[in-house]
Structures are given as structure tokens and as C-alpha cells.
Structure 1
Amino acid sequence: MELSQLLASLACIAVSYGVVQLANEWRRVRRVKMRTVDLPVLNLTGNDYAGAERAYTENLGGLLREGYEKYKHGFYQLFSPTGFLVIASADYVQEISQLPEGTLDFHGATQRRMIGDYNWLQVGDTLLAHTILTDVVRQLGNLLPVLQEEIEYCFQNVLPPCQATWTPGNIQKLAPRLIAIIMGRVFVGPDLNRNKEWVDNVIQFVDDVFAAGWKIKAYSHFARPFAARFLVAETRRVQNQKAMARRLLVPILRDRLASLNEPGAEKHLDLLQWLVVNNAKSPHPKTLENLAELALVAYVGSTHTAATTLTNILLDIAARPNDLEVLRNEISTINLEATGLDLKQSFYINHTSKLDSYMKESQRLNPAFLMTFSRIVRKTFTLSNGLTFPAGTHFIVPASRISLDPEVWENPQEFDGFRFSDLRAKTPENIHKYQFTGTSPQAMHFGYGRNACPGRFFASTTIKVFVAHLLTNYDIKLSTKERPPNDATGSQNSVPQDAEILFRSRQ
């Protein structure tokens, strides 16, 4: 075959491949703009999908308020940057959560909402979720001294120096580093969690994941796969950070795997160890490179939400000096009376304290995300009201509106830090209700059902230990007259970048 014929053949193949790819993308874009259910769409006028996406990104809170007023006990839709979302009433959450296994896809919904249907990062994984929910939670009692050790390290090396005069600290910027180091001790062990290269990279990784998702969604649906690969710098940085995780974690994982069956081998109290153990039991085990990336991805779901939640809690405490003293007295009592680990465990791990109530109230009014319980339908089902959800439907629940419903909570616009501890004290049957980590159709900021946030127990304990140490050793107050309000971009509800707290050592 002559060179000209060969080139012509290659050109034909390339053109044919390009046509097929374009056709696939055209079909994908059509699916994004295709309604699976006949429900009203609040933010779409005609075919102005771009305008609907802007309204979703810039004014989701207002849209959810309007939708809750009109369809509180039913369903409606919003067109989002990832397609149509069915907004489901809390009335049906219990029924939906009891659907047979395989009907709904939690991990696929998380993937789509965060970064779209692209392959530059896998954010949802059953092995990771199972390991956090079982092994990490089961070991919380043993992990408590480890968390306290890391928190003391952070107070000495990350927070502003403990002084007798007021010292400003940008808590919004400090919290991610604090949480990355503290939780990192449980994720990757003592060899790496304080390592500056590792900490800097995981903080940047979490930021890049969220930033890349929003930047990709700013492009047209047709251009997004190209943008994700070539035009968004954050996706390239994520690839570099994944490579860094493989470089640093695979040697540790290899050693852990080699020592699994060795008599007397150390059983490490960290996520790497438990991932290796659980992966070895799988009929289709992942590679060590896959496990390294999972350990990195654990920071996305855990440290981002925990840092945001911690920041909100500290701002709320700093804004209310009287509440601060009540919390400090409770913490002092525990510290004085705790002669062993049991009493401290009941305070930090169980959920009946005033501090637990304060955390739940802070989350109620300033959740990390406005919506939760995101699911993609994989098998068509019909609800008791006759509404059918075909496969491919993506639905979600407006958790932030439920938290402000006067039919659910008394004076819902008012911050009452001890709302839930007071409710628990009303009757004996309430003692194990209204907990920070608890989920119900009335409190869904951690989701609900079998796919509720697996890391919430670990996050709760970490935050409690940190706040207790802080209030024991520091005075805090706002640097402004009032608590700065949060800002929402889409469903992500963040503290302002310049939010400051003043710290002072207790005399």
C-alpha cells in the first residue's frame, strides 16, 4: 500500500471515530435535557437551559424556598448543571429508603453531582464507604487517645500561638489544615499525616476536586468532556495529586499486605490497614494503586464537610459568650470526673451532651450542603402515591428547608444551641433521639437510610475532642459585631473566606 493510501485510510478511520464520538456526545447531551417524569420545573423557561443553570448556581436557596412553599408534600424539578433533579418531599423518604437493593445508586449520584459523568476522578466507592462505616466507627474508642494527641499537636503547631492578648485567626482557612492533620492520622497513619508535602497536597486536592467540578459545569454540556481533559487546570492537578498518593502510599500498603498473615505483625489503627484487610476478602480485589487513590479520596468526603462544620460551630459559639460558658462548664465536669476512658467515651463518642446539641443546631441552620439524599434510579419503581420514577431519574431532598419548617421545629429561624439537649431531657424515650449523628426524615443533613454519610460518627468525635480542647485552653470571640452569614454556590454552603475568630489563652 502506498503512503498516500495509508494516510487516506488512517484519515478515514479518524474521521469515522470522530463521527461516532460526536454522535455519542450528542446523544448524551440529549439525555441530560430529557425529562424522565412529568413534574413542574421551577427554573426553566422554554429551552433556556443555560439560564436555568445560572439560577440554580446563584439562587438555589431561593428556588428551594419557593418549591417548599408550593410542593412541600409532593415533587417538583429543577434543571441543574448536571441535568434535571427531582426534588422529593420528606414525606416519601422512608418509603424510598426501603426500596430493594439495587433500585437506587448513591455512589453514581455523588459522582454526577460533584464532577459530572466524567472519568478524571472516582469519588464514590463501596469498599471505602464500608471500611469507614465499619472499621473506623468500631475503633472510635481506641482512636480517641490518638485524636487527642493530634489535636494537641495542632494547637502547638497550627493554631495561632497561645497568648494573653487577642490574636486573630482565619478559621475558615485554618480548619482544613487542622482537620487534614487530625483525620489524616486515622486515614494514613503517623508516618504521613503531619508530613507537609502530604498535608499541602491533600488540602489542595480537596479544593481542586470541588473547583474542577464547578469549572467543568460552566462549559456547555457538549464541551464538558473536552474541557475536563484539556481546559480545566484543576483536573490536571488532581492527576498529579493522585500520582503523589500512589508514590507515597503504595510502599506502605505493600508492607501492610505482606504482613497480613505474619504472626505477631502490628495491627495498625488506620484506614490503610483496614482497606488492605477488607480488599483481601473481596472476590475482585483492587490494586494497591487503587487503594492509594481511595485513601486520598477519603479526604474529599470527610475533611471538607468536617472542616466546614467545625468552622460553623466555632463561629456560633464565639457569637454567644453565655453559651460558651455553659459548654465549658460541661467539658470541665467531664475532665474532672473522668478517671478512665469510659466517661470520656460517653461524652465524645455517645451523643447526649450539650455540646452534641450545639453541633446539631449549628448544622441545622448552616449545613455544609443545602440538599442531601441524592440518588439515581437504576430500576424503575412506583411510589404509593402512584408516581413512577423511571430508570435514570435523579432525585434529592431539600434538607435545608426541612430544617427551617415551623411544623417540624419550634421557632426554626432562631438559633438555640441547647434545643436538642432540652428535647432529650423532656421525656425518657427521647434520651437517644435528636443526636448530631442521628438521621431521620426531619433531620437529613447526613442523608438517610443505608447510605447515610458513613463518616459522620468519626467526624462527630473529632469535632467534639477539638472543641473541648479549644474551650478548655482558649477564650474565643468574633472579630466582628455579628456572625458572618454563609454563602451558597449551588448546594454548597460555605463560610466567607475572611471569617475570623479572635483567640486568647485562658488565664
Structure 2
Amino acid sequence: MASYLNTNTQTTLSPPRPSWVDLTNFGLPSSMETSGYVPFLMAIILIASVMTVSLRKNKLSAFPVINASKNEYLMSGRAMLARGLEEFGGKPFRVNTGLGGGVIILDHSVMPEVRNDARFDSTKFLLQYWQAGIPGFEPYIALGTEILHNVIKWNLTPAGIGMSSWELGDSQFSFTDLDMILAKLNKPLSDEANAALSDILTDNEEWHEVLLGDVIIRIVARVSSVIFLGPELCRNPDWLKITVNYTNKATNAAKVLRRWPVILYRTIHWFLTECREVRTMLIEARQIIAPILEKRRVEKAADPSLEYHDALDWYETAAKRMGVEYDPADQQLALSISAILTSNDLMSQSIMDLCKNPEMFEPLRNEIRSVLGDGQWKPTSLYNTKLLDSVLKETLRLKPVAAVGLGRRVMEDVRLKDGTVLPQDSGIAINAEKMWDPEIYKNPRAYDGYRFLRLREASEQGEKTSQLVSTSPEHLGFGLGIHACPGRFFGANTVKLVMCHLLLKYDIKLAENTNISPLEFGFSMLANPTTKVLVRRRKEEVNF
């Protein structure tokens, strides 16, 4: 769901070598075994490194830095962005993130230049924050591989029925086409959602307290795993524990690693408990998946027509079609990261928003009853839950997962139309303040669950641009352009389906004195993981 994918990214555990490492350019002998060459070699590398960094710093010096230390960025990133907008009046400025030259924050007016330009790479921007090349973080590298992009595109997006990547990125197509693609998944998703809610929230008709983020991520993990891994693993407790915990553990390990100088990353990670935990989880994931895949390969060798209809099989098909090898555990955890992290965050925050606006519960239930009254999932069932769609999009507008959008790595020097030169290898992002702009949204800081429903009903263009999975310069929840999150279609489908079950089958309210403020870290804005709610089972109204 988040905008993680880029077909141009190579599957490699190490960043590409800078050109100056090619020593043949200096006329050195091919063999460097003689110790006398070593000091000369080290001096050349040191000088070249200093020159490269110095030149890059000179180019970056054109952009004023708003914060002196990375700690200010980590602790108050969103407030710092607002201050930069006011202080520099829309002109570019730089945030010191503690990595490389930081991030250049650009005004929203440059979005048309950035969103579909291949010289700006979203995956390479992401990987600098997820420790590319550090053992245990391989699933984050997998997020940028072509095979993952194709598995999603060929099976879970309109591109699977012939839509172009531009249409996919900017969401200009009929969503009924998408509903037809996803409808075949809804029955197994619905059955697992029903079972997961009963197991995790229980059928207790008395109010009882639960930790919201904990129960939602477990529900989302189980439901998503039906499609990702099939019946063998979707309820496997060891696998579910890994999928639920890997993202949190990796996020925490990355935070701990960032406390150290970048130059020490490749050494210090071996000694950090948090990084060891991530490596161990990845080893365990491989041990769980390997025998399942081996069993399937034997079965398919005996019967080539055999199909399994899940992502394990999609990967096998894609690998043969593309002629590539892949690591199944890395790829499955990458799918889990992209689906579970953002789906859990959106669903958790949406529930908090509904609890703060309880007048929305009954209209939503009425809509779900009208759509699913006969208990049957139709191709257009979720498409017709338009109020629910609006509610989710409003939550994503008020609290996206990040206070910036269109995070990109600049692959070569780029001159913008206003004359701004963005240096090669610099990081850029767009301030997301337009999502809270009174010139675009009436009462932009206030929650309005009907906001996007009204926009859909107002015009034909509104019908196209105001749906949850639609992208636009005014709503960067799922990115924009060629790097807009392709997994958003499946993620939105899953969240809406689970919400239908939850709203009809449970009453829910905030626990007394619970904290619902988003957790902010750097540019990230995450649903508060400590929020507690009270739930109780409702009487069955619709059997679906």
C-alpha cells in the first residue's frame, strides 16, 4: 500500500558502487597482492571519497537547513515542516535526517514535474531509511524488486487486465473493473475475517477491553495471509507471529541503528540485540516456507495443471515467466510489510476516528446492511460501500502515514522549471500540507466522514478522484504518479471487507483516558499503538 515499488530497482543487497571505485581508471595493476600498493590504494580511495562528498555538499549548500541535529527531526518532524513552510515561503529547504545530505523539502507546485519522472526513484529513497545491505532487512530490499511489482500488478491491480502503468498510477479508470478482479478473493477473505474476529475479539457480549493496534494487526495478518500464503500457513501461529512482529521489530532495529554513525552500520549491527532479533525472524521465516514450497513443487511436477490461487503460486509463476530467482521468505515478508503495516494503521486510526464521532456508526451499518442484506458477496459489493470508503479516505487525509509525500532519490542532476537544481543522489520529498489546506478542503482540520462521498456525488470527475484508492495532488495518502502504491487496491479491499464484519458484529468505544494521539517519529505519523478500546459482540444481523 505505501508507495514502495519501482521496477527499475535491481535486486541487490549492496548499494551500487560509486564510479571512482573502478581502479583501472587510475592505471593500477590488476593484482594488488603486493602490500606496497595498499597505502597508495587507500590514499586514492580516501581522496576520491572526500572529493565526492565535498562536491555533493557544495551543491546541497544552496538549500538552507532548518534543523541543527537529527534528534530535532526525529522528535518533531511534522512541526519542523510547518515551520519551514512558514519560514521559507514555499521555497526549497533541507531537513537534516542524519543520513547523507538529508532531505530537500519541495513545494507542492513541483508535483507535476516529479510524479512521473523516472529520474526520481521512490525505492532508493526508501532503502536509505531501511538499512539496505544490512542482514535481516532483506525484505525491505524485496519491496523494490521487479518480481514483487509484477506479482501485485498481474494479480491484484487493473494493470492485470491491460491498463497502462500511467492509468494505474493516476487512477483514471473504472473501478468496477477492479471490483471484478478482487471479487474472486472476497469469499475466502470474508470467511477468514469472520473466523479471525471471533477468535481474537471473541463472541463475548459483555464489554471487554483490548489493545486496539494489537488486535487489528493480528486480524489483518490472518486475513491477508489467506491470499498471500493459502490454507497451509494462514493460521500457522509461528508464521503469524513473524508477520505481525517483523515490521515492528525491523522498525525498532532501524531506529536503534540510526543512533550510530552511518559509517559503523555494517559492523555495529552484529552486536545490537534488536538487529539480531530481525535476523533470527528472517531465518525462521525461511524454515517455515521452504517445506511448503518444496511439497508444492513436487505436486506440480506430477500434475502441471495444478493451481493454488495464492501469492506463493503467483511468485512461482512470475519467476518462471521472468526467468529470475527469488527468495520466497523475503518476498512474502515484503508483501506483509506493504499490506499489513498500512492496512493496520488505516484501520486502527479509522476506528479511533469513528469512536470520536459515534454518530457515524449507524449510517455505516445501514449502508452495509443494504449492500450485504442477502449475505452474498457480489462483484460490486465493496464498491457500493461509498460512505465507508469516504470515512476511510477522510481518516487517511487527516492522518496519513507520513507528513511528506513523493519521497524520491534523485538519480541525476535535475533542473526544475523554476531554475532549482536538484543534485544527483539527494533525497527529496513534497510537504503534505495541501491535505490540510483550507483553500482545498472546508474546515480542513475537522473530521467529516461524508466529505469524499459528497465530492463523489457532485460530479463525474469527483467520482474518479474521490475514492479511497484514487490519487491526486490534493491527497497524497497513497502517493502519486508512476510510483503511487500499487498494493493500495488489495489493501483497501481488505480493510473495507474487515470493517464490514467489525461494524455489523461488534460495538466499540474508546476506553476511559486512553491515549489516541498519533505517534510521530521523523516524518512518520502512526496510529497510537497504546490505544485501548472496549468491544462487545452484537446480535447477528446479516450472515455473510
Correspondence for 2:483? 451
What amino acid is aligned across from residue 246 of structure 1 in structure 2?
R
Give the alignment partner of residue 110 of structure 1, picking from 100, 110, 126: 126
CA distance in 2, matches of 1:205, 1:196: 14
Give the alignment partner of residue 240 of structure 1, picking from 272, 280, 288: 280
Q: Deviations over 1:374-430 (max 9, x none)?
A: 11111222211122222212111222x221111221111111111110111222432
Matched, 1:417 2:449: yes
TM-score normalised to structure 2 length: 0.81
Correspondence for 1:4? none
- Secondary structure at the aligned position of 1:447 is classed as coil
Matched, 1:37 2:60: yes
Give the alignment partner of residue 335 of structure 2, picking from 287, 298, 302: 298
Correspondence for 1:478? 510
Correspondence for 2:185? 143
Matched, 1:155 2:197: yes
Matched, 1:277 2:309: no
CA distance in 1, matches of 2:302, 2:125: 40
Aligned-pair CA distance for 1:85:
0.4
Aligned-pair CA distance for 1:219:
0.8
CA distance in 1, matches of 2:48, 2:497: 49
Q: Which sits farther off after the overlay, 468-477 or 420-429?
A: 420-429
CA distance in 2, matches of 1:355, 1:483: 24
Cα separation, partners in 2 of 1:314 and 1:345, compared to 1, 3 Å: closer
Q: Equivalences for 1:17-416 in 2 at 5 Å?
A: 23=46, 30=53, 34=57, 36-44=59-67, 51-71=68-88, 73-83=90-100, 84-99=102-117, 101=118, 103-115=119-131, 118=134, 120-122=136-138, 123=140, 124-137=144-157, 139-159=181-201, 161-228=202-269, 230-257=270-297, 265-283=305-323, 285-287=324-326, 290-336=327-373, 341-347=378-384, 353-399=386-432, 401-416=433-448
Aligned-pair CA distance for 1:206:
1.2
Q: Is the 8 A contact 2:186 2:377 kept in 1?
A: no
Aligned-pair CA distance for 1:241:
1.9
Q: Which sits farther off after the overlay, 413-422 or 171-180?
A: 171-180
Larger RCO, structures 1/2 (Cα 8 Å, 6+ apart): 2
- Secondary structure at the aligned position of 1:135 is classed as helix
CA distance in 1, matches of 2:112, 2:464: 20
Gaps of 5+ in 2: 1-32, 161-180, 540-544
Aligned-pair CA distance for 1:108:
1.3
CA distance in 2, matches of 1:362, 1:342: 25
Q: Is the 8 A contact 2:465 2:471 kept in 1?
A: no
What amino acid is aligned across from residue 270 of structure 1 in structure 2?
D
Instruction: Give the CA RMSD over aligned residues.
Output: 3.0
Aligned-pair CA distance for 1:162:
2.4
Q: Is the 8 A contact 1:486 1:496 kept in 2?
A: yes
Q: Deviations over 1:45-100 (max 9, x none)?
A: xxxxxx5201100110111111223446432111112232011222111211232x
Q: Percent identity among equivalent residues?
A: 22
Aligned-pair CA distance for 1:259:
6.0
Gaps of 5+ in 1: 1-9, 45-50
Aligned-pair CA distance for 1:31:
7.0
CA distance in 2, matches of 1:268, 1:134: 16
